[in-house]
Amino acid sequence: MKTLKQHIKEKHLEDFEEDLTGEEMKTFKQHVKEDHSVGTPEVNSVEDGNIGVHNIHDPKIMERVNAFVSSIANQEYINPMAAVEQLTNKLTTLGLNVKIPAMEGTTGKVVGEINQFGGRFGKDLDGTDINDDGISHKKEGGLKLEVKFEKLENGSSKVYAKLV
């Protein structure tokens, strides 16, 4: 078998690929025809192309988004409010805007109001006024972010979050 330098020098890079893999290189079209997926096999995201997280009223999507939200508990924080602010920034990328009340004390629970895409405002088809959170017309009761926090013995805080 020749080295890469020898193949480059002789301008036979196709032969190098065959030497390396032991088979002839396939074109992209051949690869796709053989029913191989294109892209990354694992994506660390709440959305994978098969679902739209904007359909937050769907229980399957809600479960997936909640798995994403609850991952906040995977680490400890010096400032629990900073952790919640990071989470709310990530939720904003899903179109969910969260208003969290002040987190007072060393242990507690707060519930934040959520609206989707800034809520709805205007007139409905039947002429009635609309002014809601953009979720409650699809999911009864709307959506809220429940956050529990506690101070640990080492001085850091643990934060748990869940959409309800």
Q: List pLDDT tens digits, range 38-88.
A: 444 444 455 555 567 778 888 888 898 899 899 888 889 999 999 999 999
- Are the C-beta atoms of residues 14 and 26 closer than 8 Å to each other? no
Report the distance separating Cα 97 and Cα 95, nearest Å. Answer: 6
Count of Cβ atoms closer than 10 Å to residue 66 Cβ: 15
Q: Is the pTM of this model over 0.75?
A: no
- Amino acid 98 reads V
Q: Is the pLDDT of residue 140 over 60?
A: yes
Positive or negative: CA dihedral 46, 52, 55, 60? negative
**Three-class SS state of 12:** coil
- Are the C-beta atoms of residues 149 and 100 closer than 8 Å to each other? no
